[in-house]
Amino acid sequence: MKLWQKATGNKKEVEQFTIGRDPEFDLILAPFDVLASMAHAAMLATIDLLTDEENQTLQKGLKEIYYEIEQGKFSIEPGVEDVHSQVEFLLTERFGEVGKKLHSGRSRNDQVLVDLKLYYRAAIRELVEDSSTLFDLLLLLAEKHKGDLMPGYTHTQLAMPSSFGLWFSSFAEGLSEDLGMLKAAFDLSNKNPLGSAAGYGSSFPLNRTMTTHLLGFADLHHNVINAQNSRGKTEKTLAFAMSGIAGTLNRLSADVCLFMNQHFGFISFPDDLTTGSSIMPHKKNPDVFELIRAKTNQISAVPNTVSLLLANTTTGYHRDLQLLKEEIFPAIANLKDCLAMSSFMLKSIKVKKEILLDPFFKHVFSVEVVNELVLKGVPFRDAYKQVGMDIESDKFSPDQTKINHIHEGSIGNLNLDLIRKKMEKAILSFDFKAIDSAFLSLIK
């Protein structure tokens, strides 16, 4: 029987259809549900809806359940609707009627919403940490290979000289900018919705500021309707932020697949990091990066799916919102995997040296020669035409060892220290210490 159920229950078909994949996602939310319940119980004691003794009993019971979750000993029993019900059933079973008092002043609407906010905060933290790990590796590779030249491309055609240092650090700086988008999602996740109940508040004198502090939220959604309407907005913002990181990884993986091709041969990986063919002995396939490319494309589709799920939903809660978890939760897991595997693979990347010394790449130096003529006083249009004519008549023969790029962010001046500072500033904008402090106080 459901906690909210009255005389009769739902038909089996309705129940199966409406529950969907929620049980598997509820296990992910379980520790956050318990932490939110700890804060809620402590608040109820201050407004005399729980005695101090009842609060102490609930705090003890909730901590027991929290540690069971941490140890993998928690499950949602058959017939129990969700994680909220399971926690309440366990408290009632172990400590009696006091377990039934915990839901005072709450609705399942704000209960699941606060769980999601807490989970998203934690997930964003992991994405920040994984992005930071990849960032550090990319800067290390950029420094190591800053003198190793490679061709740059526009329209997938040979363009101008580039370098592996420039290539690696482009993705590093891109990640630092992606964290700016992720910060917007963090800020929305870092607002407390608890106390909004079903979306219209409560006749109990709830202290929402107290639960905000206890759960380490930076602020609360002051308007209770807006608190409920933030479900969906938070997911959409997070989806766009993840698609930003995914886009950076997608371009990296696409480049890797291309540069590993034998027609390029710019980079390689050890045999045990590639796959072979069942009939072609020579094959070394970039399967990992092909899958990163595919998975990041899937992640980039999530914002559109989320937007469509939210279409036509009026103010207040709708069951449509349940399906957001089916898009966001797997996307978070996939993005973490893609970040981790990118770092794992790039640790073993091998770069080909002296690529641009091959006469095949001589046209890459056309702009260098044009600029040299301009520096000698030749008007740019005349210099461009002169070099173009030399190329057409096959008389173009540049010095393929001479590169003189010194402006900020160019081959000879990568600005790696400034890019690192940009990343450090982005990471510091996430106040994870306040969350740690709040949770530590609750668990104590």
Which SS3 state, helix, strand or coil, does residue 207 take?
A: coil
- C-alpha 160 chain-centroid distance: 33
If you search the block for the tokens 């199966």, which residue do you land on?
Answer: 16
Q: Which of 75, 222, 277, 348 is catalytic?
A: 277
Closest CA to 339 of 240, 247, 249, 242: 249
The yes-or-no answer on residue 84 being catalytic is: no
Which SS3 state, helix, strand or coil, does residue 109 take?
A: helix
Residues 6 or more apart in contact with residue 154 via CB below 8 angstroms: none
The yes-or-no answer on residue 277 being catalytic is: yes
Q: Where are the alpha helices (DSSP H) in 261-379?
A: 287-310, 324-346, 366-375
Q: Rounded distance, CA 63 to CA 194, Å?
A: 20
Q: How far is CA 378 from CA 119, 254, 361, 387, in A?
A: 63, 40, 25, 12
Residues 6 or more apart in contact with residue 300 via CB below 8 angstroms: 243, 246, 247, 250
Q: Rounded distance, CA 34 to CA 37, Å?
A: 5
| Beta-sheet pairing, 191-192 with 157-163 | unpaired
How would DSSP label each residue in 125-152?
A: HHHHHHHHHHHHHHHHHHHHTTT-EEEE
Residues 6 or more apart in contact with residue 183 via CB below 8 angstroms: 426, 429, 430
Residues 6 or more apart in contact with residue 352 via CB below 8 angstroms: 265, 266, 267, 268
Task: Give the distance between the most distant pair of CA atoms in the chain.
Answer: 94
273: β partners: none
Q: Is 404 exposed, middle or buried (0-12, 13-18, 19+ CB in 10 A)?
A: exposed
Q: Tell me the torsion sign for CA atoms 17, 23, 24, 28.
A: positive
Tell me phi and psi for residue 82, to 5 degrees: -155, 180
Residues 6 or more apart in contact with residue 274 via CB below 8 angstroms: 284, 285, 286, 287, 288
Contact 108, 40 (CB under 8 A): no
Q: Catalytic residues, which ones?
A: 155, 277
